[in-house]
Amino acid sequence: MSFLLQQTAQSDERAFEQLFVSHKDRVYEIAFLYTESTVLAEEILQDIFVQVWRKRTTLPTIIDFPSWLFILTRNRSFNVLRDIARFSSGNKVLEQAAPDTNADAADTKLLSSEADKLVHQAMERLTPAQRQAFMLIKLNGLSREETARQMGISPNTVKVHLLAASKSIRAFFLEKDLLIPAVVTALKIFS
């Protein structure tokens, strides 16, 4: 184990992949235990390993990696559940404040256009690899394996890029404090 941590700390992607394969099932189980959602558990799994990669230089100092990973996963699960609760609360306030009439087609088109602009701005913040992985999978509908072949990287590396891209885009919307329905609709492409 310590060898994998040391190799990953030196940016060895193969060691990182082995670390991922060795621990992904346990991380998923923990996330699912807390969230009771396969979608959220998968997202948390990806979040955790992006965080592991980002903190890779500190990995050799971790004495009990499985326990550290458990705590990281538990905390991330709680944060995701908290964010969902906040988001749901915000949507209820918007629904109560919204008039009962349907928006006309021009208003809907304007909101959709604004949402598209915001998505484009959010994507400009991504690295080229994150942007390419995101576009190939989320917008073009390619599988992770097809994207990996096209980008010339491993499917797990594609997964890491995709997670980082999705997280960055979500963060962009949260920074803008946007909870309008058009943005929520635009965000569906990130799920």
User: Does the pLDDT value for residue 103 go beyond 50?
Assistant: no
Please indicate whether residue 115 or residue 35 has the higher confidence score (pLDDT): 35
pTM, rounded to two decimals: 0.48
| Cβ proximity of 50 and 167 under 8 Å | yes
User: Does the pLDDT value for residue 54 go beyond 80?
Assistant: yes
Please indicate whether residue 99 or residue 180 has the higher confidence score (pLDDT): 99
Sign, Cα dihedral of 62, 66, 67, 70: positive
Q: Where in the chain is the domain with CATH 1.10.1740.10?
A: 1-98
Q: Where in the chain is the domain with CATH 1.10.10.10?
A: 102-191
CATH number for the domain whose boundaries are 1-98: 1.10.1740.10
Please indicate whether residue 75 or residue 104 has the higher confidence score (pLDDT): 75
d(CA 74, CA 136): 31
CATH number for the domain whose boundaries are 102-191: 1.10.10.10
- The mean pLDDT value of the chain amounts to 77
Residue 101 CB partners (closer than 8 Å, separation 6+): none
Query: Measured over all CA atoms, what is the biggest interatomic distance in the chain, rounded to whole angstroms?
Result: 62
Residue 117 CB burial class (10 angstroms; 0-12, 13-18, ≥19): exposed
d(CA 139, CA 132): 10
| pLDDT tens for each residue of 106-158 | 444 444 456 566 667 777 888 888 888 888 887 677 888 999 999 999 999 98
- Show the tokens assigned to 169: 């885009």
